[in-house]
């Protein structure tokens, strides 16, 4: 019968070709106690294993993700009329894939990961923009002679391996195609949903 991951990968490729502004982002929902939180993250990988992102262990989202691993992911690409609501098992990304993803980050983004360790955790208060820029300038000097800024230990890759995926395919007549995929004993089962 196939798998929803194949549909996701095909849709993302089409969205990238169509220059969809959301082709490289995903929306993550987490729960911290009884408070739900949503955020947009860079979609670092989408393959047969699942949906991958790279985050800092200094971030509140890491704490939320690591407490019980309750995560929901939404992928939405308007240019191709596709939406995927995903729940699944959260695990750390294999080190080799994380290294590949780190290699794709720009220099400034790599330095920012070091900022979190040296000057202030992600989402922590900073006195001013001047303070933020001064910290970044200090890191630029520190790594001035380093072409390939190393990955700090606080960087972690996470992958959601889907166990349920609700798929929505847009139709102009509003009778959208919707399916619920469930992974049962290692096999994907699909049922049609009312739009």
Mind listing the pLDDT tens digit for each residue in 99-134?
Answer: 999 999 889 999 999 999 999 988 899 999 999 999
On the question of pLDDT at 33 being above 90, the answer is no
> What is the structure's pLDDT at 8?
95
- Residue 143 lies inside a defined structural domain of this protein: no
Tell me how many domains the chain contains.
Answer: 1
Average of pLDDT values for 60-84? 84
pLDDT in tens, 83-94: 999 999 888 899
> What is the structure's pLDDT at 1?
60
- pTM for the model stands at 0.86
Buried b vs exposed e over 147-159: b needs ≥16 C-beta within 10 Å?
eebebbebbbbbb
- Residue 157 lies inside a defined structural domain of this protein: yes
Average of pLDDT values for 143-170? 91
- Residue 168 lies inside a defined structural domain of this protein: yes
**184 is in which domain, residue-wise?**
4-103+153-193
If you search the block for the tokens 């990238």, which residue do you land on?
16
Query: Which CATH number does the domain housing residue 45 bear?
Result: 2.30.110.10
At residue 64, the 3 state secondary structure works out as helix
CB of 160 closer than 8 Å to CB of 73: yes
- Residue 91 lies inside a defined structural domain of this protein: yes
DSSP 8-state code for residue 150: P
* Residue 36 to residue 28: CA distance in whole angstroms: 10
């Amino acid at each position: 019968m196939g798998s929803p991951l194949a549909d996701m990968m095909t849709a993302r490729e089409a969205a990238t070709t169509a220059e969809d502004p959301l082709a490289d982002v995903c929306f993550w929902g987490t729960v911290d106690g009884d408070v739900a939180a949503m955020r947009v993250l860079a979609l670092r990988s989408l393959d047969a294993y699942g949906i991958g992102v790279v985050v800092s262990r200094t971030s509140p989202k890491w704490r939320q993700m690591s407490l019980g691993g309750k995560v929901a992911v939404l992928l939405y690409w308007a240019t191709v009329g596709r939406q995927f609501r995903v729940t699944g098992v959260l695990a750390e990304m294999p080190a080799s894939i994380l290294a590949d993803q780190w290699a794709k980050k720009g220099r400034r983004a790599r330095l920012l990961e070091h900022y979190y360790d040296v000057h202030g955790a992600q989402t922590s208060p900073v006195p001013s923009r001047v303070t933020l820029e001064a910290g970044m300038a200090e890191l630029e000097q520190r790594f001035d002679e380093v072409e390939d800024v190393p990955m700090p230990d606080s960087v972690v890759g996470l992958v959601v391996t889907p166990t349920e995926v609700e798929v929505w395919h847009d139709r102009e007549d509003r009778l959208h195609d919707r399916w619920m995929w469930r992974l049962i004993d290692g096999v994907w089962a699909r049922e049609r949903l009312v739009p």
